[in-house]
Each structure stands twice: as C-alpha cells, then as structure tokens.
Amino acid sequence: MNKLIAPSLLAADFGNLQHDVEMVNNSKADWFHIDVMDGVFVPNISFGMPVIKAIKKHSKKTMDVHLMIVNPDKFIADFKKVGADILTVHYEACPHLHRTVQAIKAEGMKAGVSLNPHTPIAVLEDIIEDLDLVLIMSVNPGFGGQSFIENTYKKVQQLKALIEFSGSNALIEVDGGVTDQNIEKLSEAGVNAFVAGSFVFKSEDPTKTIANLKDLVSPS
C-alpha cells in the first residue's frame, strides 16, 4: 500500500503557522500530524482547540490528531468539531479503551491508539480489530527533537504480526526521531505512516525533505 508522510506541526514555526501549513499542503506529505498535550499526561503543553480549528481552515490534507492527554473521552466531540479526521488516544490514558474507541468512531472519525515506548504490543490483542491505526511512540512523548529508540523495529514487527493474525485493517504509524537514516528500515519492518517533525521543519528546504522521505518509501 501507499506509504504516508505526516509532518508534525509541533515542530513548525508557531509565529508563522499558516505559512508552514501551506508548505505542507503544497508538498508530497499526506497528513498533518497534530500533537495535543495537556502538561499532565506528558510534561509539556501544546495546541488547543482554537489552533487546530485555525489549521483546519487552511489545511487541504487529512488531520491526524494525537491526544497526549488524560481523560480524552471528555473532548472527543470537540475534536471532531474542530476538524480531526483521525483521533488517536493513548492506551496508558484510557482505562475503558474499548468505550473510548467506539466513541471516536461514533463521531465519524477514524480511531487510533498510541503506545508509549515501554508499553508492550500484547495489550492491544483484544482491541486490534476495532482500530484504524496504531501509533508506536519511538521516543518518550512530550518533546520534539528526541533520539529514536531502537527497540521500535521489534515492536513494529510484533504489531504487524498481530494485525495479520487478527485480520485487522489497522495502519501502523511511528512517531519520534524519524529521519532519512531510518525510514526505509521502518518501512521494511511494516510501518505505513511516518511522523516527522524536527527533521522536516528544521531542514533548509522542508518541501524537499518531505519529498525525499516520500521517495525513500514510495519510489515513484
């Protein structure tokens, strides 16, 4: 299947966000990846609803919203209203994960579940068939610019085996430390969607960087 590039707006220039959104619109990227942090589940605070609504106004691509927050159930309908197409919650933040996933789908969004680096794939065995996406964190969530955790390759392979065994249609997404040095190996392991933040937005030519990443995993 087609491999997807999802630039993470956490690494964008917040003072010139419309410019960066339009750059992604005009690039080979497939999704916008938007990290929502509450300062509780992770030690950082990022976008709220008004910013996501503003991004949606200019966005021409899929809005891939990743909630790194406690009590995500309270906000599911709100994220639909501001434009989320995919809504991903953390396994570690959802004591009633099945209910949360069904609530996301009931709002007409695709449902994803994210796992922190220390959380094993096995916890998804009983819900994998209900998921549209699994997001594996390849850094500890909360801050951009961190180094890639090598154990991620093994987790991707385990997840791919679980998806195939269960007949799930879930996509595999990886977030954290993705660069031109590891994206091909991740693709070979089974990753479908690649979140890239600092590597894209801190590069001299972000449009070209996105194109290079896309070409490495989906040669035209």
Q: Which CATH number covers residue 27?
A: 3.20.20.70
pTM above 0.75, yes or no: yes
Q: How many other C-beta atoms lie within 10 A of the C-beta of residue 40?
A: 12
Among 20, 30, 35, 85, the one annotated catalytic: 35
Residue 205 annotated among the catalytic residues of the structure: no
Q: Which domain holds residue 72?
A: 4-217
pLDDT for 172 equals 98
- Measured between alpha carbons, how far is 110 from 198 in angstroms, rounded to an integer? 26
- Measured between alpha carbons, how far is 62 from 202 in angstroms, rounded to an integer? 22
Residue ranges for the chain with pLDDT beneath 50? none
Mutual angle of helices 49-58 and 17-25, in 10-degree steps? 40
pLDDT for 220 equals 64
pLDDT for 219 equals 75
Is 178:195 a contact under the CB 8 Å cutoff? yes
Burial of 204 (0-12, 13-18, 19+ CB in 10 A): exposed
Task: Please tell me the total count of domains within the chain.
Answer: 1
Residue 35 annotated among the catalytic residues of the structure: yes
pLDDT for 144 equals 65
pLDDT in tens, 159-175: 999 999 999 999 999 99
